[in-house]
């Protein structure tokens, strides 16, 4: 089906690009992508981690089709800031939306008792699915997350340069296959179906979300009063390799490297949360963060009475693949 998104002047002023990967949506997309033999060949390390995590993620693989349509609520527009926020957005989906979207995704999927319960928005099955999503992120994606964040940052930088040269028209015109900018309409090739659907965004704007795990056809989520959430395959080569944990630990020391790795992950990182996650005291956490900040690997800002920390581009580059 051809989806035509009509962008008025207010929408064009609200075109945004997600500057970090969406943790929960990335898990949903990866659980399909890595079951595709061609993707598994390109990403053998991730595919091996997925196979090793099979007992924990088996419910997710059973509930989410291995290809084709996926329920929209599995790639929520909310929850970009952390994995837990995204999982909360998925879990809070209204039952009528769960039932409608799962029924559509299951059109050609064999019926099983658990799938039947999922299609009926059974709260227990939704909890099982969310738990499996969390296990998937930790077991498969977490070690590679700094590399994914780094690659997303490079692409955002390039988008910024394109905007400086040719404005929002240039950004939209450079979107990859499946998306075509024919002012004032953004055409989207969605999943096979007859006909054309026109959607007027009425000032809500667009949030563009690139992912190396997105399928060949873009995914679009349109909700009243919200930006249209457009997920598409990144134009950069899919190249995620094992992180250089040993080299980073030798350079920084085990504890300081672990602190950097924690603040490079998704979520909100305070001095206390870093201390808890890294298994050190708050004073030690503060000291290591100060050294990393002085080296340009971490930035910190005060939010209320709390210091919040995040890895810089240099920090994620250091943790990335070598």
Q: Hey, where are the domains in the chain?
A: 2-18+147-233, 23-144, 245-319
Span 235-261, pLDDT tens digits: 665 555 555 555 676 778 888 888 998
- Sequence-ordered list of residues with C-beta below 8 angstroms from that of 20, at least 6 positions apart, any chain: 80, 149, 152, 153, 266
CA 185 – CA 168 distance, rounded (Å): 13
CA 300 – CA 314 distance, rounded (Å): 14
Instruction: Say how many C-beta atoms besides its own lie within 10 A of residue 307's C-beta.
Output: 16
Span 67-122, pLDDT tens digits: 888 898 998 888 888 888 999 999 999 999 999 999 999 988 999 999 999 999 99
Q: Where are the alpha helices (DSSP H) in 34-109?
A: 37-42, 44-52, 54-63, 83-91, 95-105
- CATH class for the region spanning 245-319: mainly alpha
Backbone phi, then psi, for 220, in 5-degree steps? -130, 130
CA 165 – CA 57 distance, rounded (Å): 45
> Which residues does residue 208 pair with via DSSP β-bridges, in sequence order?
17, 230
pTM: predicted TM-score of the whole model, two decimal places: 0.71
């Amino acid at each position: 089906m051809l989806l035509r998104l009509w962008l008025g002047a207010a929408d064009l002023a609200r075109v945004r690009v997600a500057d970090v990967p969406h943790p929960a949506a990335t898990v949903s997309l990866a659980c399909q992508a890595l079951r595709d033999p061609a993707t598994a060949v390109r990403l053998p390390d991730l595919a091996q981690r997925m196979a090793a995590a099979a007992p924990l993620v088996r419910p997710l693989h059973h509930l989410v089709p291995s290809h084709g349509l996926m329920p929209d609520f599995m790639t929520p527009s909310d929850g970009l800031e952390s994995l837990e926020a995204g999982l909360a957005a998925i879990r809070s989906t209204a039952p009528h939306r769960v039932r409608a979207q799962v029924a559509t995704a299951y059109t050609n999927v064999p019926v099983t008792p658990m799938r039947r319960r999922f299609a009926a928005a059974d709260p227990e099955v939704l909890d099982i699915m969310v738990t499996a999503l969390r296990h998937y992120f930790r077991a498969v994606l977490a070690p590679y997350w700094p590399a994914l964040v780094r690659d997303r940052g490079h692409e955002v930088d390039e988008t910024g340069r394109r905007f400086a040269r040719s404005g929002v028209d240039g950004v939209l015109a450079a979107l990859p296959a499946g998306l075509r900018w024919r002012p004032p309409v953004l055409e989207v090739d969605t999943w096979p179906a007859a006909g054309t659907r026109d959607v007027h965004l009425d000032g809500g704007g667009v949030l563009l979300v690139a992912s190396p795990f997105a399928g060949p056809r873009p995914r679009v989520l349109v909700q009243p009063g919200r930006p249209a959430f457009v997920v598409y395959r990144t134009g950069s080569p899919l190249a995620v390799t094992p992180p250089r944990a040993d080299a980073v630990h030798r350079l920084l020391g085990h504890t300081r490297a672990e602190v950097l790795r924690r603040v490079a992950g998704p979520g909100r990182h305070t001095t206390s949360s870093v201390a808890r996650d890294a298994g050190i005291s708050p004073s030690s956490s503060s000291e290591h963060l100060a050294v990393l900040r002085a080296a340009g690997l971490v930035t910190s800002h005060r939010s209320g009475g709390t210091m919040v920390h995040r890895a810089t581009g240099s920090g994620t580059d250091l943790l990335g693949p070598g």
